[in-house]
Amino acid sequence: MTVLMKAAMLWLVVMTLGACASISNEPLRQLPSDAEVEQYNASVPPDEHIVCRMERSVRSNIPRRVCRYVKDIAETSAFHREQLRRVLQ
């Protein structure tokens, strides 16, 4: 019985670690630091600026650093506003 319990526990641990490993299978991206972002932004027009900040995604409570172009943020929010306006009409 105890052997069975131990085997079950071991399986649980292996599966849990495996689940963690599957997350780390995503390609590793080295995001720029705030200083690097600021240095880059100083040399490009405002449209091409990058904004990085910590964000919590829907499926996790762990904040992750996300970087986006200001242009993309503006376009996405304009798109969402338009969609909302259509739905509410």
For another protein, the binding residues (CB under 8 A) are 33-35, 38-39, 41-43, 46, 49, 51, 53, 70, 74
Alpha carbon 42 to chain centroid, angstroms = 25
CB 43 within 8 A of CB 56: no
H or E segment to which residue 51 belongs: strand 50-55
Minimum distance from CB of 60 to another protein (Å)? 20
Q: Which is nearer to another protein, 16 or 33 (CB)?
A: 33
Q: Which is nearer to another protein, 7 or 78 (CB)?
A: 78
